[in-house]
Chain A
Amino acid sequence: MVQARGGEGTGQAATVVTGETVDSGGGWPDSATRFVHKLGQLSSSQILMYVILIILLFITFVPIIYLVALSLKDNGQIYGRFWSMPNPYRWENFGLGSLAIWRPILNSILTSGSSTVATVVLASLSGYVFARHRFPGKEVIYTGILALLMIPPILTIIPAYVLILNMGLENTYWALILPWTSGGQVFALLLCRSFFATLPEEFFDAARIDGASELQSFAQIAVPLSAPILVTVAVVRLVTTYNQFMWPLVVISSPKRQVVAVALTQFTSEIGVTDLGPQMAGYILASIPLIVLFSFGMRHYVRGLTAGGLKA
């Protein structure tokens, strides 16, 4: 599979990331275009496929349609006329929902964002060192780091919680940022090291001859060249941390510092919203950061996850 692509000597082929296979935003793969025929010549099997796909698509979208519909109704409309369209449209639900949810959304953006930035900085730095430096114990240390991929969060969650308690960080943003930064590094380091290892040695030789220090060649050659992989790491980490539920539930108890994934589940108990409409509106609002992120980063997300997984 990978070898099949190996022949394409473009600059991008340097990507060791096998997720390239899903890279279809640009030109269409030949294998697909060969199947393009005129619409009118649909065979019965084609029609069957269309029908099944449309049915599946519809069922997939039922919860989303339901969510949007409820978010525009008030309780009277929901209980009284369950099946009718929202009438009138209760746009103010979104106002009420946002009142309850804006703070957790900001908390999430803050913690996810800062831990992602830290992960990218640290992982690219150490990925560079592991890829380009020679030092005693390198492979042992690297293997030691990779071994962490074998440790599931369920094993560490309770001891890590106790550690956070002992450090006095319970109920602070640090309780989220530090472990997330640390945990994300393993996978990020794996990607970064693989990528840096493919960068041609000549670039760095040239830089050295020109008198660039090690850090300069890292910052001015390696980082710009590896922007795609760093974006991939960032997108994957943002999505992963934004969706985290169990860890914030354990270490954060104050509603003021709670992240959105947990806050959504405490709508009624903590925030005091009992109407269904504003709640649903809150659910939709909580999705906005992900919508923004996916609208430009979907390809990176899939590529990152595929790469991390296939390598393991």
Chain B
Amino acid sequence: MSGWRIMGNAARLRRAAWGFALAMVVLLAVAWPLGAQSPEGLLWQFGSTSRVQAVAITEDGRITAVGSRDNNLRVFDGSGELMWQFEAENSILGVDISPDGQWVAVASEDRFVYLLDGDGNLLWQFKAARPMNNAAVASDGSLVAATSNDLSVYALDQTGNLLWQEELGIGVQAVDIYGSSEKARVVLGSDDGLVTIYSREGRQLLQAGLDYNVRSVSVTQNGALILAGSIDGSAILLNGANGNELWRFEAEDTINSVALAGDGSSALVGSKDGSAYLLGADGTLRHQFRQDSEVLSVALAGDAGRLAVGTVAGASRTYDLASAMRGAERASAQQQRLFISIALLFTALVLAAVWAARNTAAGQQVWQRSSAGPFGVVQAVWSARLSYLLILPTLALLLTFNYYPAFSGLYHAFTDWSPGARTDWVGLSNFRFLMEDRFFLSGFRNAAILVVVSVAKTMTVPLLVAEFIFNLRNRLSQYWFRTLFVVPIVLPAVVEILVWNNIYDPAIGLLNESLKLVGLEEWTRVWYGDASVALGSIIFIGVPWVNAFALLIFYGGLISISNEIIDASLVDGASTWRRFWSIDLPLLMGQIKLLLILNFINAVQTFELVYLTTGGGPGAATYTPALELYYLAMRMDRMGVASAIGMILFFIILAGTIVNMRFVKSSTEYEA
């Protein structure tokens, strides 16, 4: 009876496994055509070979100024047509354009700051001792501020007269202006982390200190909000009235440029990490514009909902905000479509179940009992409401914490996933990345080794010990050996690894000390630090590998072998050796099968063993896929690639389990 139940469960589980595999295949087939998406919202782009070091855009988004290293300032209209061009003597390092597009300030490596009018005519130029690295112009052109590599800031009036100059004595390249005419104010960020507001006359009005060098500042037209980007990768919004921090956004690398919409309703942050981040008024990430290279400069036109990005590779791109956001929505719509497909899949499964109910003998009975027709089913469901209620908590938990993450993992394996920020479908590129990731590849090889070794360890020594104990003639010694061999199980798994870390300690570890004691000094080494022995050292942990669990299982299997069989073999004069091969081993197949699959599953997922010992090193010598998964997800925030690893391991385990259930015969099947 119980034997039947075991069979029944195995069959059921096998069916569930096949069903699951089938569901996955259908899921992938459904998900495939969704394909990778093109960059959304791109209005136009201008590509050149030299880096774009400055971009500026008018508030209506109609005019974009692009300054690049080829000494040219190019001004484009809203559709990307070149309107006019201005050539300086050297690279253009900074550009600012007034909100109405009537004034353009240009800072160049040729040491000049230029003021141009809306048609590209030069109004005046002013020379400093060293290259000018950035410039800003007031909305009415009445004030121009320029920062220079001579560690000074210059303020000039409409006609190019120097109003004041301040020598800061420290690097400065972040400058912006708000207000107009007499009320114009200069906001300055410097390498000592200070953000300072100066009046038109050069008087310091406010100073706020940040922790790192300020690379870029941007201020709203009324001066209420100041956004500062610093080299540690944070963009910090300050209250323009008192310098208090309002929020902060962390990019992955140094921030090169920031821009605030004129009314402060949105912000744009360009970072060395290759992205321009669009932030909402509260500092939450609304969209990430990924570029092919480091973002040097960004500009934002709040009214028009446009933004411009300049990159190291020489591209300047202008995007339309609304359609970019729609693109993001479309991505999430793709996600919805996927979940709808899943729902359809389940519906199909349910329909299949109904079909089975109507067309099989057993199903027919059930069907008839529930009194034919959909109404009968509803009635049956209603009358069983208590049953559903009682399993509801279980189901709710399982759906939330097991089913949902499983499907989420399988789906996100095909995405560039940064929770809270973006989920972009990237097709197979995560898998392509892994195929070239030497840590993953090395991990894969190591996992294969660990699987083989772990199975070998469990199948040999514990079985040997179990047979020996079983064959001892003294009952008391049997008892004591069995008990003592099992004692180490009380150590938490982590403690065993940590103790072995101490044994391997190169300075004062048991292993090296023992080698010295017996005069094998030349054999001592840094066990985890030597690529040729590191993996071996890890495998050696736990020697002589008398796994208590395996021992108990084998021993349990041995003592349950019926006396008659053993007696019969004794009568027939079989040797112990012969008995082992012909009786014990076949009858232990159930146990062997169990340990085989448990070891396989655990070894494929090996994590602690390497995380706590070598951490994957030296180099990539002892990586495992699970370790790479952990590093990718937790240290590099590459959840999509991590999910892809999870998916690969899942399919490996699934395949192994099916093979094990299908092809390794167990004793139950022997007898059945």
Residues of A within 8 A of B (CB): 1-6, 16, 18-19, 21-22, 24, 28-37, 39, 41-42, 45-46, 49-50, 52-53, 56-57, 59-64, 66-67, 70, 78-79, 82-83, 122-123, 125-126, 128-130, 133-138, 140-141, 143-163, 165-166, 178-179, 181-183, 185-186, 189-190, 194, 197-198, 214, 242-243, 245-246, 250, 260-262, 264-265, 276, 280, 283, 286-287, 290-291, 294, 298, 302, 305-306, 309-312
B448 at the interface (CB under 8 A from A): no
Residues of B within 8 A of A151 (CB): 402, 406, 650
Docked pose: A27 CA to B563 CA in angstroms: 15
* B646 pairs with A154, CB closer than 8 A: yes
Q: Is the CB of B16 within 8 A of A147?
A: yes
List the B residue with the shortest CB-CB distance to A184. Answer: B397
What is the interface residue range for chain B against chain A? 35 or more
The distance in angstroms between the C-alpha atoms of A194 and B642, with both chains bound, is 37
Docked-complex contact A135 and B556, CB < 8 angstroms: no
Check A135–B499 contact: CB distance below 8 A: no
- Evaluate contact between B605 and A22: CB separation under 8 angstroms: no
Min CB–CB distance B484 → chain A (angstroms): 6
B540-564 CB contact bits vs A (8 Å, 1 = yes)? 0001101001001101110111110
Could you show 25 A-B contacts with beta carbons less than 8 Å apart? A1-B557, A5-B560, A22-B559, A32-B475, A35-B472, A53-B469, A62-B510, A64-B499, A82-B513, A126-B390, A135-B380, A143-B16, A143-B19, A146-B9, A148-B403, A154-B626, A154-B646, A155-B406, A157-B629, A159-B409, A166-B420, A186-B398, A197-B5, A280-B499, A309-B597
When C-beta atoms are compared, the residue in chain B nearest to A188 turns out to be B394
Asked whether A19 lies within 8 Å of B556 as measured between CB atoms, the reply is yes
Interface members, chain B 572-593 (any A CB < 8 Å): 576, 587, 590
Contact present for B17 and A147 (CB under 8 Å): yes
Most B Cβ at <10 Å: residue of A140, A146, A158: A158
What's the least CB distance linking A290 to chain B, in Å? 5
CB pair B556–A243 under 8 Å, yes or no, is no
A65 to B248, CA, bound (A): 53
Known: A5-B560, A129-B387, A157-B646. A16 touches B5 (CB 8 A): yes
A156 & B409 in contact (Cβ 8 Å cutoff): yes
In the assembled complex, which residues on chain B have CB atoms less than 8 Å from the CB atom of A78?
508
A122 near B492: Cβ-Cβ < 8 Å:
no
> Dominant SS at the A interface?
helix
- Residues of chain A lying within 8 A (CB to CB) of residue B493: 243, 245, 261
Chain A nearest CB from B594 CB (Å) reads 4
Which residues in B have some Cβ–Cβ distance to A below 8 Å? 1-3, 5-6, 9-10, 12-13, 15-17, 19-20, 349-350, 353, 370, 377, 380-381, 384, 386-388, 390-391, 393-395, 397-398, 400-406, 408-410, 412, 419-420, 461, 465, 468-475, 477-478, 481, 484-496, 498-500, 502-503, 508, 510, 513, 517, 543-544, 546, 549, 552-553, 555-557, 559-563, 566, 576, 587, 590, 594, 597-598, 601, 604-605, 607-608, 612, 626, 629-630, 633-634, 639, 642-643, 645-647, 649-650, 653-654, 657, 666-668, 671
A33 near B475: Cβ-Cβ < 8 Å: yes
Contact in complex: B587, A122 (CB < 8 Å): no
A286 touches B495 (CB 8 A): yes
Least Cβ–Cβ distance between B564 and chain A, in angstroms? 9
Q: A60-B544, A163-B408 are in contact. Are A290 and B629 (CB under 8 A)?
A: no
B205 → A minimal CB distance (Å): 40
Q: How far is it, in angstroms, between the C-alpha of A50 and the C-alpha of B388 when the chains are bound?
A: 58
Interchain CB contact (< 8 A) of A150 among B16, B496, B594:
B16
| A140 in contact with B350 (CB, 8 Å) | yes
Instruction: With CB as the reference atom, state the residue of chain B lying closest to A283.
Output: B495
A21:B556 contact, CB within 8 angstroms = yes
Residue of A nearest to B558 (CB): A31
Which partner residue on chain A sits nearest B385 by CB separation? A135
